[in-house]
Structure 1
């Protein structure tokens, strides 16, 4: 742990790690969201239908759910430096593939594979937790998440301009390829400049990579239950591209995907049993126990926070355009106010969590989030535009501050499993986006906002089950000695 002062203008020690981490995350989000701002140019250049464009948008997020779980485990095992560098380098390949694709199939494969870069977020959560003490952790994780998340807004503003500068019908290709080049170059910078822990600190690794450890019988069954929504969301995505909806795949392929997901869940169940069967015969010593319900509560909260953010960012330009009869460009600029809040809201949520306590901060922000979406459900064409934008920004503050508060708590549960926990919680954010966007395809905007508000109230109820992180957590050193890590004042 680096105990030097927290100085955002510094680029040494832990602050250098924080800055390089958010930069890496920023680049992953630029690459992941480089398609949406150039959507019309891609459609025209490749001669795609509206349904094919929608399919590409779905494929862009499909792989992120399992990717976050996989990358979280790899981070715990091999360390953030190697895993982040590898992710940035490897994911530049499908980015280049997309930039120079000539057919819908080539573009579809590239966008599907690019969903993997959305897992980058998880890596930095573990890295930042290694360098910052508990009383600064929320602020540091908030800056990492908020400034990195801004990559999506930066892509929306810069890439259309870049495409215009290159000009011609291939301008979008060069703009997209530049994001891939950024990712590839920064992979080498990250590898050269980052270390997993401060000098002299131990990087604790989980005993098993195949499944998450739990420390009680009840937690074993809760873990299996919490795995189901991730598989259900992937099944929902398959259903959206099946003949029942946009008919991108055949009925036979749809059923094959369903069967594969069931088989994978059964396989995962067997791995969870293999890793944790000893708890049914030998109790885990109290010093090494942790409560999986903490993870479950954070999963539900991230479903409502980041899940709703991803969904709302996707639909907000259209919502403003239709409600206030704005041009697409004006609607996009107005809607970007929601994403802009990330720069201060997410760090703010982490900072409040550091100062006031993890649980009370989550309670206040989740309640604010629910009320914020209830307010947005009231927006009609009779409102003044600037008041509607202010309502969206107010709601956005609670959403993104809530995300910051969730990930201020994640690293305080079990240090050696931080990547796995962050991976699962992060995946729940994508599960939320899939669920909310699917609901939006069946209901009007007002009902959509009401649904998010109701799930936020459900999150508020589950918060009653969460315990405030207190005291210390124990981690076992390779030589058998125990290190105690502070999680509260």
Structure 2
């Protein structure tokens, strides 16, 4: 999607933008719920199928693959067809793999769960629709807040973590998956009826492959991709793997682990629009620096296994707040630095990197888990090192951008 300075200036408020922002948030939240239905039930699958730690982590991480790589195409197609069409199609289509995962669980087939979990990743691609869609509705000075609020739809993972295991206990495994599939179809209908693309948006008719190639040649694409892989990837990894982590380290059952994972996700969701809003005010590099420093510190704190409830709960909430601030800051920086007619393509690549950033940590956590000590120390130490490396890179980019602006005005 594209906007231009001439069609949208600071202070201009396009009529209907609030409704469209909330519809985008709704579609994003319900598809993210669907995207994360395997993680909250992974402990149950592991018990029924007698999975080891590596198999369980692979099951949790698999839906992330398509949800990540698919964003590259989804973002480019959004530039061409608009958010209304893309949201409608992807929200409706996401109901299919939800039902397929249900059948795989009933068949108690690990292979089918992996295959259909891979297809479930379709639901995770809607992020790349919403960022350019929302960007087109808001003037540059408000895009950090607007995209941050839209990004709060990642709270769908919190809803999934909290409600999915409880719905299974209340209604049964089959009814839970059917209910989620129906909810997806209902939201798709609402989006089609009520959502509209911004008057400031103009379709980019360039062929998709050259468009993606052009976006891939922009330095800002890969700079933001790395930073988003750390911040959003960290959020995805914790959101999907935390139920397993809490069971192994603190011996929580499925429902209790899900409730605490939901609390983690809600904290990150609240922090994301705050990160966007603060980035509008004081600049994305400062907010991102605070985020990455906080994540690095909290990774070390969590590695020491603080006791439940207060100490451990506070530690995970602080980690969530740090990662949430960072996700809001990165896409404010994208909106500021990416060419207007390439926002969708850039968003797709950056969003893919964020999803992939969430794919590998669960595999690392499973591979480095110390069963005798019930410890994930190695994985958390690697997270700390990654966060500090991203912090150094953020400082480098900020200094370089300031020097460039000084040269341009000098």
Q: TM-score, normalised by structure 1?
A: 0.71
Residues 1:391 and 2:306 aligned together:
no
Distance 2:179 2:229 in 1: 32
Residues 1:37 and 2:43 aligned together:
no
Distance 2:45 2:76 in 1: 35
Listed as ranges, the gaps of 5+ residues in structure 2 are 1-7, 370-375, 406-410
CA contact (8 A) 2:40 2:240 kept: no
Listed as ranges, the gaps of 5+ residues in structure 1 are 7-11, 225-291, 472-489
Alignment correspondent of 1:143? 149
Per-residue deviation at 1:204?
4.7
Distance 1:214 1:331 in 2: 43
Change (3 A) 1:435 1:107: closer
Distance 1:117 1:469 in 2: 41
Choose which of 224, 232, 243 in structure 2 pairs with 1:298: 224
Cα displacement string for residues 336-364 of structure 1 (whole angstroms, at most 9, x for unaligned residues): 32112033100110010011112222223
CA contact (8 A) 1:38 1:172 kept: no
Choose which of 248, 259, 262 in structure 2 pairs with 1:333: 259
Distance 1:398 1:92 in 2: 32
Change (3 A) 1:296 1:392: same
Change (3 A) 1:318 1:89: closer
Residues 1:465 and 2:389 aligned together:
no
Cα displacement string for residues 411-461 of structure 1 (whole angstroms, at most 9, x for unaligned residues): 331122111111111111122222222322332412211211111121122
Alignment correspondent of 1:454? 385
CA contact (8 A) 1:358 1:468 kept: no
Distance 2:80 2:242 in 1: 39
1:150 aligned counterpart, secondary structure: helix
CA contact (8 A) 1:206 1:417 kept: no
Structure showing the higher helix proportion among its residues: 2
Cα displacement string for residues 461-488 of structure 1 (whole angstroms, at most 9, x for unaligned residues): 22213537999xxxxxxxxxxxxxxxxx
1:442 aligned counterpart, secondary structure: helix
Distance 1:437 1:320 in 2: 13
Per-residue deviation at 1:321?
3.8
1:81 aligned counterpart, secondary structure: helix
Per-residue deviation at 1:308?
1.4
Choose which of 163, 166, 170 in structure 2 pairs with 1:165: 170
Alignment correspondent of 2:268? 342
CA contact (8 A) 2:211 2:345 kept: yes
Alignment correspondent of 2:242? 316
Alignment correspondent of 1:130? 136
**Equivalent residues in 2 for 1:478-489, closer than 5 Å:** none
Distance 1:123 1:60 in 2: 18
Alignment correspondent of 1:183? 184
Cα displacement string for residues 84-142 of structure 1 (whole angstroms, at most 9, x for unaligned residues): 11111222222223334453255443322111111011100011000011111111111
**Equivalent residues in 2 for 1:20-35, closer than 5 Å:** 20-35=23-38
Change (3 A) 1:4 1:15: farther
**Equivalent residues in 2 for 1:167-316, closer than 5 Å:** 171-198=172-199, 201-205=200-204, 207-212=206-211, 223=216, 292-316=218-242
Per-residue deviation at 1:328?
4.5
Per-residue deviation at 1:371?
2.3
**Equivalent residues in 2 for 1:110-121, closer than 5 Å:** 110-121=116-127
Change (3 A) 1:195 1:469: farther
Per-residue deviation at 1:326?
4.1
Residues 1:93 and 2:96 aligned together:
yes
Change (3 A) 1:387 1:38: closer
Alignment correspondent of 1:48? 49
Distance 2:178 2:103 in 1: 8
Choose which of 62, 67, 71 in structure 2 pairs with 1:64: 67
Change (3 A) 1:377 1:81: same
Distance 2:163 2:227 in 1: 32
Per-residue deviation at 1:40?
5.8
2:198 aligned counterpart, secondary structure: coil
Choose which of 148, 151, 158 in structure 2 pairs with 1:153: 158
Distance 2:112 2:258 in 1: 28
Change (3 A) 1:358 1:83: same
RMSD after superposition: 2.8
Distance 2:204 2:403 in 1: 21
Alignment correspondent of 1:289? none
